[in-house]
């Protein structure tokens, strides 16, 4: 069947709104949690960190299926995507049940082993057990969203995300400032928002997606293998990144037990997320369009498009980063006011944040090129190359560089951002070289379909 090939801008702007709202809600959640207290912020932050490690399991198929969906749609073999979607939903549902079992059995013991403060550990456990119950919805929602995007319904996942975010922020406000339900209320707000997103995805998918698709002449085994071919290295890369960040946070806590250096890093990351939204949307939109072009065997257009989008992305990230570095006081005050920092500590804290924000321009510029090129490499089928390079760079430059600059040379959080800049720049240069050589053209997932 012939499928609508939507323009890049129609893929991009719903993703921009969706990602922006997600980041905004995450930021508002963090700020509202300070209304509960500092222990609540620490508890929820810790619980989310370790839940994210478990959620990497869901990334395997959701990332791999994006490549399968877009390449088969680009090859005008859209009937294959429905079979792939059902396989993905079934497998991720089983994984979600396993993750839920792990959370309910081991999460409490693990958290109390990792976090020495009993009160914080109890709150983190409470949050983790409630939100962990939403694993099934967390596992399925991205698959349905990518499935709709592959058919040209780019606004539908955005609508589902908007609904979930409205639910989340409304219930969080009521839980914290009206009913005083604390961390448990925040956790249930998150749980209900995931359920709301799932219902919205199902309703929109049933309304938009075609009902009468021909029978697919591709085996389920091949579709699953292709999804794993892309998804496993993508999940591996994500897991390695989370592990590297955990090592870096541990290093910072060792260097500065007072927590100032860690607080600076967290604040800068929150600020940087806002500036990084356009780059993330460009990367995801480019990955979708690249899958279409590769499926249609239009490799030259895919290459020209990715270089053009990369240039635009770097320009946007650099501009936003520069504006934030030049005029940081207003946004910094949002974080320092809720953290309750005063006097000389406040002055030192703000000065350190401003220094790191200038360094972060280079980090975000390199990261923009890295993520745009890297996400599209995944949808070409070249994910193992991406994962291998990312692991090497994280181990050698991010972790090794952090030890060198932050610990050995005693530069603290400034040294860590220098190391992160080198890590992101190295990956971006290697991915640019990979695109230039066109070796990714040999990794296409599409095979000729034989009809009976």
Q: What is the mean pLDDT of residues 358-387?
A: 89
Neighbours of 323 (CB within 10 A): 12
Query: Helix, strand or coil for residue 5?
Result: coil
Q: Identify the band that residue 243 occupies on the pLDDT scale cut at 50, 70 and 90.
A: confident
Is residue 73 predicted with pLDDT exceeding 70? yes
Q: Encode pLDDT of 130-173 as tens digits.
A: 999 999 999 999 999 888 888 777 788 889 988 998 998 899 88
446 pLDDT tier (thresholds 50, 70, 90): low
Mean pLDDT of the region 296-314: 90
How high is the pLDDT of residue 114? 76
Q: How confident is the model at residue 201 (pLDDT cuts 50, 70, 90)?
A: very high
With the CA atoms of 195, 200, 201 and 206 taken in that order, what torsion angle do they form, in degrees rounded to the nearest 10?
Answer: 130
CA-nearest of 251, 373, 255, 351 to 303 is 373
For residue 178, what are the CA distances in angstroms to 70, 156, 184? 45, 32, 14
Residue 208 to residue 278: CA distance in whole angstroms: 27
Top-confidence range, 62-66, 151-155, 254-258, 270-274: 62-66
The yes-or-no verdict on residue 2 having pLDDT over 50 is no
User: What confidence score (pLDDT) does residue 134 get?
Assistant: 92
Neighbour-count burial of 175, counting CB atoms closer than 10 A to its CB (0-12 exposed, 13-18 middle, 19+ buried): buried
Counted residue by residue, the chain has a size of: 452
Across 179-199, average pLDDT: 91
At 448 the pLDDT is 44
Q: How far apart are CA 359 and CA 92, in angstroms?
A: 39
Q: Report percent pLDDT > 70 for the chain.
A: 92
pLDDT band of residue 79 (cuts 50, 70, 90) is confident
Question: Among 158-162, 337-341, 382-386, 422-426, which is the least confidently predicted range?
Answer: 337-341
C-alpha distance from residue 428 to each of 71, 173, 368 (Å): 24, 40, 8
């Amino acid at each position: 069947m012939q499928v609508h090939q939507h323009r890049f801008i129609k893929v991009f702007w719903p993703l921009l709104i969706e990602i922006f709202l997600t980041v905004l809600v995450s930021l508002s959640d963090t700020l509202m949690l300070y209304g509960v207290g500092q222990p609540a912020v620490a508890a929820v932050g810790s619980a989310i960190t370790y839940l994210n490690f478990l959620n990497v399991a869901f990334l395997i198929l959701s990332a791999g299926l994006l490549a399968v969906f877009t390449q088969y749609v680009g090859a005008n073999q859209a009937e294959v995507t429905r079979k792939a979607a059902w396989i993905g939903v079934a497998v991720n549902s089983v994984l979600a049940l396993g993750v839920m079992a792990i959370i309910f059995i081991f999460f409490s013991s693990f958290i109390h082993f990792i976090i020495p403060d009993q009160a914080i550990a109890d709150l983190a456990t409470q949050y983790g057990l409630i939100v962990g119950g939403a694993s099934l919805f967390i596992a399925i929602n991205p698959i349905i969203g990518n499935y709709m995007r592959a058919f040209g319904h780019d606004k539908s996942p955005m609508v589902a995300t908007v609904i979930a975010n409205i639910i989340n922020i409304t219930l969080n406000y009521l839980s914290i400032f009206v009913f005083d339900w604390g961390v448990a209320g925040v956790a249930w707000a998150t749980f209900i928002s995931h359920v709301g997103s799932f219902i919205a995805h199902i309703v929109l998918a049933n309304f938009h997606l075609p009902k009468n698709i021909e029978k697919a002449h591709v085996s389920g085994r091949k579709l699953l293998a292709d999804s794993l071919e892309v998804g496993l290295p993508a999940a591996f890369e994500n897991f390695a990144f989370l592990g590297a960040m955990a090592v870096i946070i541990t290093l910072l806590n060792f260097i500065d037990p007072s927590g100032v250096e860690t607080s600076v890093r967290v604040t800068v990351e929150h600020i940087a997320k806002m500036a990084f939204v356009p780059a993330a949307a460009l990367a995801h939109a480019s990955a979708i369009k690249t899958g279409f072009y590769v499926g249609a065997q239009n490799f030259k257009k895919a290459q020209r498009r990715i270089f053009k989008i990369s240039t635009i992305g770097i320009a946007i990230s650099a501009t936003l980063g520069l504006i934030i570095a030049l005029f940081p006081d207003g946004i910094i005050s949002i974080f320092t006011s809720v953290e309750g920092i005063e006097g000389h500590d406040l002055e030192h804290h703000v000065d350190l944040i401003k220094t790191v924000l200038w360094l972060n321009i280079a980090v975000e510029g390199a990261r923009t090129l890295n993520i745009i090129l890297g996400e599209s490499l995944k949808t070409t089928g070249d994910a193992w190359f991406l994962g291998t390079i990312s692991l090497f760079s994280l181990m050698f430059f991010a972790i090794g560089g952090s030890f060198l600059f932050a610990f050995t040379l005693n530069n603290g959080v400034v040294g860590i951002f220098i190391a992160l800049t080198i890590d992101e720049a190295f990956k971006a240069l290697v991915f640019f070289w990979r695109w230039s050589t066109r070796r990714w053209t040999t990794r296409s997932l599409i095979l000729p379909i034989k009809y009976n």
